[in-house]
Structure 1
C-alpha cells in the first residue's frame, strides 16, 4: 500500500514535469487521423466516437479508440484497447504494448473525453504525440490545446463544437 502511494507520487511528479515542459505546436495540417482517450467507467458508448470521426471526415482506419477502466474488465473485446492502472509503472513507464503503440502514433487530433480526475488518463493525454489535443473541461487546463466546456452527457453539443472549432482553425477538408 505504501509503495502504491510512492508510485502515484512519482507519476504525478513526472506528469507535472511533462506539462511544464510542453510546447504547443500549431501546425496547418488537416485532421486526417484521430485518437480518442476515454474513461469507460464514465462513457460506455464508443460508437458515438466513430460517428464523430465520420462527421469530421476521418476515415475509419485512421481512428483509434483507447479506454481506461479503474476496474479490470474482461468483457471489453469490442474496444480497440482497454487499460487500467496496472499498465503503468514508476515515473510514467508504460507496461502495456498496445498502450505504448497508441502513444507512439502521431495523430492529427486527440480527443480526451473524461471528467474524472484520473492520473493515468492525464498521463496518456500528456504522453500522446498528437498535434492537437481536444478535451472537455478539466481542472488542469495544460492538458489540452482546445477545451470544450460541456458535460460528458451532452455529446451532440460536444460534437457540434468540435466541428465548429476545427472548421474555424481550418483543420477540416
Structure 2
C-alpha cells in the first residue's frame, strides 16, 4: 500500500515535469493521422471514433485507438490496444512496448476522450508526441491544446464542436 502511494507520487512528479516542459507548437498542417485515447469504463463504442475519423477525412490506416480500463481482467478484442494500471511503472515508465510505440507516433492530432481523473490517462496524453491534442475538460488544462467541454455521453455534441473548431483552425482536408 505504501509502495503504491510512492509510485503514484513518482508518476505525478513525472507528469508535472512533462507538462511544465511542454511547448505548444500548433502548425497549419491538415490532420492526416489521428490517435485516440479513451477510458473504456466511461465509453466503449469504437464505431463513434471511426465516424469522427471519417468526418475528419482521416484514412482508416492512419487511425489508432487505445483504450484504458481500470479493471485489469477485462479483455477488449475490438480495440487496437487495451491497457490497464499494470502497464505503468515508476516515474512514468511504460512497461507495454505497443503502448510506448503509440506514444512515440507523431500523430497530427490526438483525441483524449475521458473525464475521470485518472493518472495513467493523463500520463499518456502528456507523453504523446502528437502535434495537436484535443480533449474534454480536465482539471489540468495544460494537457490539451483544444478543450471541448461536453458530457462524456454527449458524443454527437463533442463531434460537432470538434469539426466546427477544426474548420475554423483550418485543420481539416478539403474535399477532392
TM-score, normalised on structure 1?
0.98
Residue 40 of structure 2: aligned partner: 40
**Paired residues of 2:72 and 2:85 also in contact (CA < 8 A):** no
Residue 138 of structure 1: aligned partner: 138
**Paired residues of 2:136 and 2:147 also in contact (CA < 8 A):** yes
SS at match of 1:27: coil
SS at match of 1:20: helix
SS at match of 1:78: coil
Residue 56 of structure 2: aligned partner: 56
Root mean square deviation of aligned Cα: 0.7
Q: Per-residue deviation at 1:73? A: 3.4
Residue 67 of structure 2: aligned partner: 67
Partner deviation per Cα, 1:76-101 (whole Å, 9 max, x = no partner): 11110001111011100010011001
SS at match of 1:86: helix
Taking the aligned partners of 1:75 and 1:88, their CA distance within structure 2 comes to: 17
Give unmatched runs, 5+ long, in structure 1. Answer: none
TM-score, normalised on structure 2?
0.97
Q: Per-residue deviation at 1:74? A: 4.1
Residue 113 of structure 2: aligned partner: 113
